[in-house]
A and B are shown apart, each in its own frame.
Chain A
Amino acid sequence: MMSTLRVLIRYPILVLAFTLAITGWLTVEMIDNARLETDLDEYMPQDHPAFIYSDQAEVWFDIKDGILVAIEHPDGIYNTGTLTKVRQLTKDLQKMEEIEKDDVTSLYTAENIAGSEDGLDVRAFYSKAPRDSVELAALRDAVRGNEMVQGRLVSDDETVTLIVARIGDDVFSQEFYDRLQELTATYEGPEEVHIAGSPIVEGTLARLAPKDMQRMVPIVVAVILIVLFLLLRSVRYSIITLLIVLISSIWTFGLMGLLGIPIYSVTTMLPVILIAIGVADGIHLYNHLRHVQQRDGHADRRSVVMEMLHGMWKPVVITSLTTSVGFISLLTSDVLPVKYFGVFTAFGVLSAMVLSLVFLPATLLVFGVSQRPIKRRVKQERVRNAERHRPFGYRFADLVLNQRSLTLTLTAAIVAGSIWGMTRLWIDSSFLEKFEKDSDIVQTDAFINRHFGGTSTLNVILEADSAGVFKQPEVLREMARLQDSVLARPKVGSALSLVDYLKRINMVLNEDRQEYYRVPETRDLTAQFLLLYEMSGDPDNLWQVVNYDYNRANLAFQLKSDNARTLNDAISAVEPFADAFERHGITINYAGSGYKAMVFADLILEGQIKSLVLSIGLIVLLLALMFRNLLVGVIGAIPITVTALISFGLMGALHIPLTTTTALIASIAIGIGVDYAVHFVERYRIAVRDEKDARAASRRAMQHTGRAILFNALVVIAGFLVLLSSVFPPNRALGAFVSLNMATSFLGTVTVLLIALAASKAFLPKPKHDKHN
């Protein structure tokens, strides 16, 4: 290793030119091929049973997410003007390329299943908007009398009416949304027009999150640059440290572009993570360089650089490897974007390592070693030494070792608190809750939820082997009971199933008598009602609730929230019916985008927790191998374990849900935290070899590397605090938690790790020689 570096160091200009050439090439690749993946279905593992089933059910029943356009008139919607607008807007929506004609439902297109004097009458509510008060009243009465429309397409207070435009998964785009908003804007006044629905929420989210991150990254970079300068006292060192991180990001994204892999929302966090991890190498190298200069006085540039590399290459390589292992363990995830995220972050970390070991020394050789700030620093330290006799690192190490029990008690208390906090952790797959409470999108959603059944849908799919099962009265009655039980849940607003059609038809064929609002008494009656219904109009809507063979049924519930609690609450109302349906040979499953998102979030988290445990295990192993001591491996993993515990514990305690974003924080924490431990252990190992005494070695290690670790933590904390100003709550959480994790990793390393290391007597039986010398 060292010999390779030595060769490379001989041609610094060549190294610089080569690095820049690769960077230039990959920049072009990155720009040419960058593509943001916003279709959430592309994120889902296609071979997972829950997704396979849901996708299948979506085909069976033509389940699609709906864009909800609400038209509000403060004086009520039953006036010629508003009804004309409903008709016209419906037609305009039907004409949009992205929307199938039959997928638009409004008061204008809805069918009114009604009874006539001697039969069934299935007609549109109106074709031309009613002109006079008599016609208007007739329409209003028709709607009021139809429970399949009242409360679904017209709010109960009759001030809002809904147009639902169902669209396919891959249809939504910003351009489409813009056109939609332009279109609806022309219908404003005196009516107000609102747009909501999960395609809007998901589409906006998929666009907003990366955009917000894009906006924040330059600020983070600027702040980190300033803090780097304050700590390194060298413009050149600061810029080069940052440059390494940026180049490694470019390499990573360039490679993605080269391989034709799109940018997923998870991978937009990559630059931020690489910044957090990548600056460490530079800080530690420069820190060591300074120590070398201090010790060797006026040695020539080349030998100082060689000495820096000689002393630091090992911890830099070890930290990079352990960090990479942490991320590569994300390969255990079932979710493709997370796998990519893991692999490419690892690639970025290793790129930063190579750059730090090759590019950084080359810049030192070409542009020179900074002298001025070191002299000052040395002078300062001398003054301090003279005043207090002992450097701060020594005193701090003594303090920690003397107050061992206090430190350990405190740590134990914090860990216990964290474990308690973790019991309160909850997983959330809500898209809506990622937005600000006072944002337009949340407000509109709340508005529609106030007036209608709900903006989110859960599909409960019942399936039997034998045909005709869903014509049997006892099965239909069980379905009706299930439906009522789910509807009794507070956040379930409405439901639609075969049962609703049958109850309605049964009632209207019996002079609208309320007691007939129930499923028909016999199978034949049900079959004949349905045939009558089919003959009376276009029965296409029927095939959204049942299939041809009547052995599959879809119960669609409208929910007032898309969060996991609401979904699980609804599902918990379904589950008790499993046995009853089982007796009829019917199985229960779930479908729809909300359900898939929930399963997906669970999967991501499960994968992340799995990979977290795996990566800690691998890091222990790796450290044990590198330091040839299993105990040291375990000790080295203490700070990251504690950090992960605190991170999750605090999230639980603060009621911050685990989401796909916040769960990644732990991976980042481990990636960073382990570096501190590695640097500290390495320095301690070298010190103990000379000192042959744990306390003396602790002091020296603390003095030598404690500052570099502190600097490292400070830089990243400062940079990530910037994210607190993000408009996007998940990015704010990311900023806060990465900062916190840096702090806990740092504190854990210089306290608990130090205590454990000193107590372990590791390295004390001094190794005879260093293999790599």
Chain B
Amino acid sequence: MNRISIHILLLALIVTSGLPTFAQDSPDPHRIMMNVYERDQGDDMTSNLTMTLVNSQGEERVRAIRQFQRDFGDVEKKIMFFLAPADVENTSFMNWSYDDASKDDDQWIYLPALRKVKRISSDSKSDSFMGSDFTYDDLGDRHPDEDTHTLLREETLDGEPVYVIESTPKESDYMYSRTVSWVIKDKWIGLKKEFYDEDGDHLKTLNVAEYEQIDGFWIILDSEMHNVQADHRTRMKLKDVELDTGVDSGMFTERMMKRGM
């Protein structure tokens, strides 16, 4: 064994000792949630998103969106172009989400009928995303440090070994009193998540129907959020996913919003 390999071994020991409970008999729930939060999905992604909203009466609305996103380290930028319905075609939406939790997202929308880019400002991340059953937080914006996590049990879900973790917010006024996540071991995909409202009642359930390893990254392709209280569902399906194609940083500008893809 040469010096370099000894160094690597030492490094590995240091790294694992720095994560004392990880992958041991009693894994650290916070670490698990961090793994989910930090799961590498490449530096950029291009995809076609179909968002289907279904209300309690079974009425459906379908939106087709072409989206680009890129991680710039401290900021994640995303731009979406509406393909359908026809009356919102070419409408585009841009979102800059900052790692700094104290900083609100910046959001713009371009309305072709008005030929103007408008800023959207809203109260909080507990707002719904485009009128769907997802909030911005539900889409993965919430940092695990904002919650306290407890490992409830380990079990098998859809044939996958999962950790079942309960998370309770540290702040008092948060929209959820707690959430329960089913996280696939080693893949760090939240396969299922239950959300409980301020009164402790079951509010929503997120189910992941399809995920795939693309270019070595685990990507969720199909998920459905069911608001059980309002009996309202939102399904998000990704197609034509391409990773690390080198999306141009100039893509995320107001000019591009107006110009289109």
Contact = CB atoms under 8 A, between A and B. Distances in A.
Interface of A: 59-60, 95, 101, 116-124, 468, 471, 509, 520, 522-529, 531-532, 534-539, 543, 547-549
A702 to B, nearest CB: 70
Nearest to A542: B131
Contact of A527 (B87, B93, B108): B87
Contacts, number: 92
Nearest to B53: A548
Given A537-B127, A543-B55, A532 B118 contact: yes
Contacts of A509: 114, 118
Interface stretch (B5-13, B30-38, B57-65, B234-242): B57-65
B111 A535 contact: no
Contact of A528 (B53, B55, B88, B107): B88
B85 A535 contact: no
A524 B112 contact: yes
Given A471-B87, A528-B87, A538-B127, A549 B59 contact: yes
A124 B113 contact: no
Contact of B120 (A117, A120, A548): A120
Contacts of A526: 87
A252 B114 CA distance: 72
B85 A527 contact: yes
Contact of B121 (A119, A525, A527): A119
A524 B87 contact: yes
Nearest to B123: A123
B87 A468 contact: yes
B86 to A, nearest CB: 9
B253 interface: no
Interface string B92-121: 010000000000000111011110011111
B199 interface: yes
B223 to A, nearest CB: 20
Contact of A122 (B88, B107, B122): B122
A-B pairs, top 8 by smallest CB distance, nearest first, are A119-B119, A527-B87, A534-B131, A119-B118, A525-B113, A524-B113, A548-B59, A528-B111
Interface of B: 53, 55, 57, 59-61, 82, 85, 87-88, 91, 93, 107-109, 111-114, 117-123, 127-128, 130-131, 197-199
B88 A60 contact: no
Contacts of B117: 118
Given A116-B119, A537-B127, 18 more contacts: A101-B197, A116-B121, A118-B117, A119-B118, A120-B120, A123-B122, A509-B118, A523-B87, A524-B113, A527-B87, A529-B111, A532-B118, A535-B107, A535-B109, A535-B130, A536-B121, A547-B59, A548-B61
B90 to A, nearest CB: 9
A547 B199 CA distance: 29
A99 to B, nearest CB: 12
Contacts of A527: 85, 87-88, 113
B119 A118 contact: yes
Contacts of B130: 531, 534-535
Nearest to B129: A535
A101 B120 CA distance: 26
Contacts of B82: 531
B233 to A, nearest CB: 12
B87 A537 contact: no
A502 B189 CA distance: 41
Contacts of B111: 525, 528-529, 532
Contacts of A120: 118, 120
A532 B88 CA distance: 10
A464 to B, nearest CB: 15
A121 B87 contact: no
A733 to B, nearest CB: 43
Contact of A522 (B57, B91, B113): B113
Contacts of B55: 543, 548
B91 A531 contact: yes
Contacts of B85: 527
A543 B121 CA distance: 22
Nearest to A116: B121
A532 B110 CA distance: 9
B118 to A, nearest CB: 4
Contacts of A543: 55
B127 A532 contact: no
Contacts of B198: 101
A531 B117 CA distance: 13
Contacts of A536: 120-122
B109 A532 contact: yes
B149 to A, nearest CB: 26
A274 B255 CA distance: 84
Given A123-B122, A547-B59, A549-B59, A531 B88 contact: yes
Contacts of A59: 57
A119 B120 contact: yes
A59 B87 CA distance: 27
Contacts of B197: 101
B140 to A, nearest CB: 18
B182 to A, nearest CB: 27
Contact of A525 (B108, B114, B118): B114
Contacts of A548: 53, 55, 59-61
B114 to A, nearest CB: 6
A509 B45 CA distance: 33
A364 to B, nearest CB: 68
A468 B87 CA distance: 9
A532 B113 contact: no
B123 A124 contact: yes
A531 B107 CA distance: 14
Contacts of A539: 128, 131
A89 B120 CA distance: 31
